[in-house]
Amino acid sequence: MATVTDVTDATFETEVLKADKPTLVDFWASWCGPCRMLSPIIEQLATEYGDKINFTKIDADANPQVTSSQSVLGLPTVKVFSGGQVVKQFTGARSKGAVKKMLDEIVG
């Protein structure tokens, strides 16, 4: 069963940019209501897509370097990286169906 891995400023490059498969990054914060709505959806999708996509999350408040370098201006922001580049992204809460549709476009 796949899980959502916590990444930090220190581990972002290794875990996300140099990952061997597409990697979803959920930028979140503890005070963010929409983040709390999106989090269980991401966790459910990790169990469904975990063999094809890595699932990670990063606390935007605790990791300002990555948050800034990735130009994250609103939370939650979800970005999917492949080969070190952003291939899909959205900001704000989304339904499970909307996130699933995006992931299906990536894994084809």
Catalytic residues: 32, 35
List the beta strands (DSSP E) in 1-108: 5-6, 23-28, 54-59, 77-82, 85-91
CB–CB of 28/57 below 8 Å?
yes
Tell me the C-alpha distance between 65 and 6, whole Å.
Answer: 15
Name the token pair of 8. 């930090």
